């Protein structure tokens, strides 16, 4: 698959065209253990080479905006090839400690300027509020974001982990191109709230962690397979009895993938892509071979029978554990 023939999709009604699969860049700088910059840059360049042009970062991915600074090294020479998405709102200290959520208008402006500087660009293609600030009406936050569009600093606006009613309120202030929330074979709560609202309003949907933070790929067979400095050790779904129960779902998905002649990761991504043309998953990886594997999902068209089989498997396997620890769960679907 070449860069020119990789499938494209449109997010929202304002003409934001992106590759049908994006690349989540968080793990290159934080949360999922050690990584190597040269390898990360090789993956980023390969993504553009094969046509995956939708790159997703955030100001809190890595201490001091490390992930944005990493992307800046790519953007120096390939900015015109990239649809660049970043986020604000999750505030971290200089030591990496999480300090809370800030959606105040003054912070919106300051955060955007800081991201532009780290990224070394004149504008951001898609700017998300990373988490909804319960202390600030979403109308005020989105109002401040709209002024960034007026100033030419941002092209399109997005939200992340916002509930359907919050999305509806935000869209009355300024057009929203996309909602980014967790969505995968083992996280489907958006189907009952946010996703229907997005479709009613013509807002694209960007699933993050579409591979269940790697669990759905079959890469982990036991909790000890996860590195000591990997955040997933703190995730309830990767712990103790929950891990064992969730592994049964992975094994069932693996069997379906074998029948289809693809990998479990490809099946999980194809399932999302086949949920609608308004869906653009952003799996993350730090390996070129995994990037190529994921990209192959864009060519898999599931039949109605195959989708019914997947739905049947999902109905037979309850997912064990919340998708974040308690503190994190308080900030999602807000």
pLDDT category of residue 2 using cuts at 50, 70 and 90: low
CA gap 272, 296 in Å, rounded: 13
Note whether residue 157 is domain-resident: yes
CA gap 187, 174 in Å, rounded: 28
Contact call for residues 59 and 108 (beta carbons, < 8 A) = no
Tell me what pLDDT residue 225 has. 86
CA gap 79, 86 in Å, rounded: 14
Note whether residue 26 is domain-resident: yes
Tell me what pLDDT residue 227 has. 84
Note whether residue 104 is domain-resident: yes
**Mean per-residue pLDDT, 109-131:** 98
Question: Is residue 115's pLDDT more than 80?
Answer: yes
Note whether residue 1 is domain-resident: no
CA angle 114, 115, 118 (to 5 degrees): 90
pLDDT in tens, 286-304: 999 999 999 999 999 999 9
pTM of the complete model: 0.96
Q: State which residues form the domain around 174.
A: 8-329
Nearest to 213, CA basis, from 232, 227, 241: 232
CA gap 189, 213 in Å, rounded: 16
Return the H-helix or E-strand segment holding 124.
Answer: strand 124-129
Q: Which two tokens stand for residue 123?
A: 């504008």
Note whether residue 318 is domain-resident: yes
Instruction: Provide the 8-state DSSP code for 261.
Output: T
Note whether residue 252 is domain-resident: yes
> How many domains does one find in the chain?
1
Tokens 């489907």: give the residue.
Answer: 188
pLDDT in tens, 275-287: 999 999 999 999 9
Tokens 């790159």: give the residue.
Answer: 55
Q: Which two tokens stand for residue 168?
A: 């509806």
Active site residues: 61
Tell me what pLDDT residue 234 has. 87
pLDDT in tens, 154-195: 999 999 999 999 999 999 999 999 999 999 999 999 999 999
pLDDT in tens, 24-43: 999 899 777 777 999 999 99
pLDDT in tens, 201-217: 999 999 999 999 999 99
Tell me what pLDDT residue 37 has. 93
Nearest to 270, CA basis, from 207, 189, 196, 226: 207
Radius of gyration from C-alpha coordinates of the chain: 19
**Mean per-residue pLDDT, 253-263:** 95
CATH number of the domain within which 109 lies: 3.20.20.100
Question: Is residue 1's pLDDT more than 70?
Answer: no
Note whether residue 3 is domain-resident: no
Tell me what pLDDT residue 224 has. 81
In sequence order, the 6+-apart residues with CB closer than 8 A to the CB of 240 are 223
């Amino acid at each position: 698959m070449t860069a020119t023939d990789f499938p494209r999709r449109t997010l929202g009604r304002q003409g934001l065209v992106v590759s049908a699969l994006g690349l989540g860049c968080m793990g290159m700088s934080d949360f999922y253990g050690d990584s190597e910059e040269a390898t990360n840059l090789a993956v980023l360049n390969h993504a553009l080479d094969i046509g995956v042009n939708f790159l997703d970062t955030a100001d809190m991915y890595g201490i001091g905006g490390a992930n944005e600074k990493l992307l800046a090294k790519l953007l120096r020479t390939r900015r015109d090839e990239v649809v660049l998405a970043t986020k604000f709102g999750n505030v971290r200290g200089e030591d990496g400690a999480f300090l809370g959520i800030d959606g105040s208008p003054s912070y919106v402006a300051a955060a955007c300027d800081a991201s532009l500087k780290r990224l070394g660009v004149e504008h951001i293609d898609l700017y998300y509020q990373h988490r909804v600030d319960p202390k600030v009406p979403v109308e005020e936050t989105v109002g401040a974001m709209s002024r960034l569009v007026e100033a030419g600093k941002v092209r399109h606006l997005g939200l992340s982990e916002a509930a359907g009613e919050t999305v509806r309120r935000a869209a009355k202030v300024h057009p929203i191109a996309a909602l980014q929330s967790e969505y995968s074979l083992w996280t489907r709560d958006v189907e009952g709230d946010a996703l229907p609202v997005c479709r009613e309003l013509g807002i694209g949907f960007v699933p993050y962690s579409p591979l269940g933070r790697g669990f759905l790929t079959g890469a982990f067979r036991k909790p000890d397979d996860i590195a000591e400095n990997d955040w997933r050790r703190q995730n309830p779904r990767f712990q103790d009895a929950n891990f064992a129960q969730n592994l049964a779902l992975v094994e069932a998905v693996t069997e379906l993938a074998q029948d289809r002649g693809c990998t479990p990761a490809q099946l999980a991504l194809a399932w999302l892509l086949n949920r609608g043309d308004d869906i653009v998953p952003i799996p993350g990886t730090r390996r070129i071979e995994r990037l190529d594997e994921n990209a192959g999902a864009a060519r898999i068209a599931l039949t109605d029978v195959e989708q019914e089989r997947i739905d049947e498997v999902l109905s037979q396997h309850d997912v064990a554990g919340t998708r974040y620890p308690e503190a994190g769960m308080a900030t999602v679907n807000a």
